[in-house]
Amino acid sequence: MALDQLPLGTAATVAAIDWAGLTDGDAMRLKHFGFDEGVRVEPLHLGPFGRDPLAIKVGRMTVAIRRRHAAAVKVVPLAA
């Protein structure tokens, strides 16, 4: 499942990231925000216009990323 499709408040683990589908700058930004395989993420809020950007909790930090970048992040939801 892609991160942009994960329901709000649902914790998940990053399974894979399509680095080739991102520009170098976008990939670097996600890496600086801590996105990597095995990291725990949770979508918290949607932006007001077109549901973009998304507020995502990455580890202990909350970051805002574009929906198209979240679509490149494949996740596995954690069991409740």
pLDDT, one tens digit per residue, over 23-60 is: 999 999 999 999 999 999 999 999 887 788 999 999 89
Exposure b/e, 39-59, CB count within 10 A at least 16 = b = bebbbeeeeeeeebbbebbbe
Q: How confident is the model at residue 79 (pLDDT cuts 50, 70, 90)?
A: confident
Q: How far is CA 16 from the centre of its chain?
A: 11
Reported as a pLDDT band with limits 50, 70 and 90, residue 80 is: low
Please state, in angstroms and rounded to a whole number, the distance separating the CA atoms of residues 35 and 37. Answer: 7
Q: What is the pLDDT of residue 5?
A: 95
Tell me what pLDDT residue 18 has. Answer: 96
Residue 43 tokens, joined: 């979508």
